[in-house]
Structure 1
Amino acid sequence: MQDFFYTYLNEDTLWVYSYIILPILIFLARLTDVSLSTLRIVLVTMGKRNIAPLIGFIEAFVWLLAIGQIMQNLTNIMSYLAYAGGFAMGTYLGIWLEQKIALGIVMVRIITGKTADSLIYKLKDTNYRFTHLKAEGKYGDVGVVFSIVKRKELPKFLHLINTHNPNAFYTIENIRHVQNTDDIPTSDSGTFSRVVRKIKTIRK
């Protein structure tokens, strides 16, 4: 890599490569491999055995490129700063990407007061599947609602809870495996979605 840039730089401008171009390249390489590492860890915990190794391969390859440049420029303090900065920013970017992609499925456990009729009616109306149980808490009878939701649907689902049962207490847990993800509907109850679900039912 150095030879490539040295071809286009003279002795008076070599500092441009050492203190600007090289640190930027190291920063971008570290940004990439740490972001991929964050996504790979999430995929591993979800049991995605097909894509996680591929991401791991790319991650390791990019890391080798970055560390190789560090080893060739051990006296360049800007390389160290770029390496550390890329690691920090890559961690942030990886978390941001994971939240935006919203991979996986979660279980939402809702504990309501004595009555949750409004919430249950709305869950039925918006096509969410759930299980409702009657239970007893410290201060008397309560209702417990369990529902499996795709993470992409979670903001909409929580909005329903806060709108129709704002005093409810809920917890969210990651789910590693579900028997059939096709059975997990979305809140879209439009005509097209109903037709698609009908076709899937017929094919089964």
Structure 2
Amino acid sequence: MGVVLFILFIQIAYVTVSTLRLIVMMKGNAKLAAVISFGEIFIYMIGLATVLDNMDTWYNLVVYCLGFAIGVYTGSLIEEKMAMGYVMVQVITRREDSDMPRQLREEGFGVTSWLGEGLSGERLVLMVLTKRKRQKELVNHVKRIDPQAFLVSYEPKTFVGGFWLKRAQ
């Protein structure tokens, strides 16, 4: 039973660390990703060696696979809590005279707005930059102001210029 639990926990640890390394690398921090990868492969080799040494029982392999699945889930939960980086949220509201830009700025969000043309008339378009940790808060503010607003978000990779650059660093 001890070997089974060891295999499960070592695999969960490996895949969780692997997920975090991938996220750190995607965010552009190659040095930290390299450091994390050392621990990742160390954990992997210990787990693999343990499974290979105990191939006499089929359930060790099943537990190894189960640990992988749980590790993927755990890694995604940790990443969600870390919420590294920034998001750009585009908001389109039917209310072209909306006070939404001012209200969002008062809440500390960076907002650029302009009038756009939709299928049935003018729309107010907002580009809102915020930390990922505040994305849900932003969405809640927008929905409170205009429950019919259309939102799309994406993660910007590069920042050049603008007043937000000083605040983002």
On whether the aligned pair clears a TM of 0.5, the verdict is: yes
**Stretch of structure 1 that moved more, 84-93 or 69-78:** 69-78
Q: Match for residue 37 of structure 1?
A: 18
- Confirm or deny that 1:174 pairs with 2:158: no
Mapping of 1:5-154 within 5 angstroms? 20-115=1-96, 117-154=98-135
Conserved? CA contact 2:96–2:122, under 8 Å: no
TM-score by length of 2: 0.92
Conserved? CA contact 1:45–1:176, under 8 Å: no
- For 1:181 and 1:49, locate their aligned partners in 2 and report how far apart those are by CA, in whole Å: 22
Q: Match for residue 145 of structure 2?
A: 164
Query: Cα offset for 1:73?
Result: 1.4
Give 5+ residue unaligned stretches, structure 1: 1-19, 186-204
Query: Cα offset for 1:78?
Result: 2.5
- For 1:116 and 1:61, locate their aligned partners in 2 and report how far apart those are by CA, in whole Å: 58
- For 1:32 and 1:116, locate their aligned partners in 2 and report how far apart those are by CA, in whole Å: 52
Conserved? CA contact 2:92–2:124, under 8 Å: yes
Query: Cα offset for 1:118?
Result: 3.0
Q: Match for residue 183 of structure 1?
A: 167
Q: Please tell me the residue identity of whatever aligns with 2:65.
A: A
Query: Cα offset for 1:52?
Result: 0.8
- For 1:30 and 1:23, locate their aligned partners in 2 and report how far apart those are by CA, in whole Å: 11
Query: Cα offset for 1:75?
Result: 1.2
Query: Cα offset for 1:116?
Result: 5.1
Q: Matched residues, percent identical?
A: 25
Query: Which secondary structure state, in structure 2, belongs to the residue aligned with residue 67 of structure 1?
Result: helix
- For 2:133 and 2:60, locate their aligned partners in 1 and report how far apart those are by CA, in whole Å: 39
Q: Please tell me the residue identity of whatever aligns with 2:167.
A: D
What is the number of residues matched between the two proteins? 166
Query: Which secondary structure state, in structure 1, belongs to the residue aligned with residue 155 of structure 2?
Result: strand
Query: Cα offset for 1:127?
Result: 2.3
What whole-Å deviation, never above 9, does each CA across 1:69-123 have from its counterpart, x for those lacking one?
1111121222112101100100100111110111111100011113252322211
Higher Cα Rg, which structure? 1
Query: Cα offset for 1:135?
Result: 0.7
Conserved? CA contact 1:148–1:184, under 8 Å: no
Cα distance change on mapping 1:183 and 1:167 into 2, 3 Å: same
Conserved? CA contact 1:114–1:142, under 8 Å: yes
